[in-house]
A and B are shown apart, each in its own frame.
Chain A
């Protein structure tokens, strides 16, 4: 089965940049989507197809994907960005959606 590995946690000071990685075998050949989940809430899409942002998502959120790592970058982090973040791909070989292990972003 296909696995996506994320760091369990990322801590960042307000105003700084948070980078959340998502590692998977040749993930650069797949489309990666990122979700933000705040406590007690359903996930919300923040980046899709590697680099696109849904309407209403700040430009501070951006994504990249190459080789074996995809990255979600949040610039000018503020307290409202504290949440769990999950990457997700579609594994076409087995018709299977795969979520990453999740990363908790803490704002110091």
Chain B
């Protein structure tokens, strides 16, 4: 059973870079048949998919964030990361990591989520 745990600062200043890591346990990212994703949810609002990565490094992103966001994978540490530069208050949200099994179109496993607040 895959388990995901988000890690990173809970407070980021405006114009700085938001960086989060998703630590994976219960299975190996390398050679797995999963896509590893990020989803966010602003306080009191709905879910927004950010992007996914395969263990090979192949990525695809939400067009609304493309150009700002980078998702990367470190198979040696069995984790993957999210990087979002030049943040504003609009990037304040709970950030979830979640998986999509290869060939599927649903998010089967989720981390508990981590709140990132953008504020000076």
- Using a CB–CB cutoff of 8 Å, the interface residues on chain A facing chain B are 1, 31, 33, 35, 41-45, 48-49, 86, 88-90, 94-102
Supposing A1-B63, A94-B63 touch, asked if A45 and B47 sit within 8 A by C-beta, the answer is no
- Using a CB–CB cutoff of 8 Å, the interface residues on chain B facing chain A are 37, 46-49, 52, 60, 62-64, 96, 105-108, 110-113
The winner among B37, B64, B110 for most chain A CB atoms within 10 A is B110
* Cβ-defined contact, B106 with A48, below 8 A: yes
- Name A102's contact: one of B47, B49, B112 (CB within 8 Å): B47
Q: Specify which chain B residues have a CB less than 8 angstroms from the CB of A98 in the assembled complex.
A: 49
Closest Cβ of chain B to A68, distance in Å, is 19
The winner among A42, A98, A101 for most chain B CB atoms within 10 A is A42
Determine the distance from Cα of A41 to Cα of B112 in the docked complex, in whole angstroms.
7
Q: Specify which chain B residues have a CB less than 8 angstroms from the CB of A45 in the assembled complex.
A: 106-108
Determine the distance from Cα of A1 to Cα of B63 in the docked complex, in whole angstroms.
9
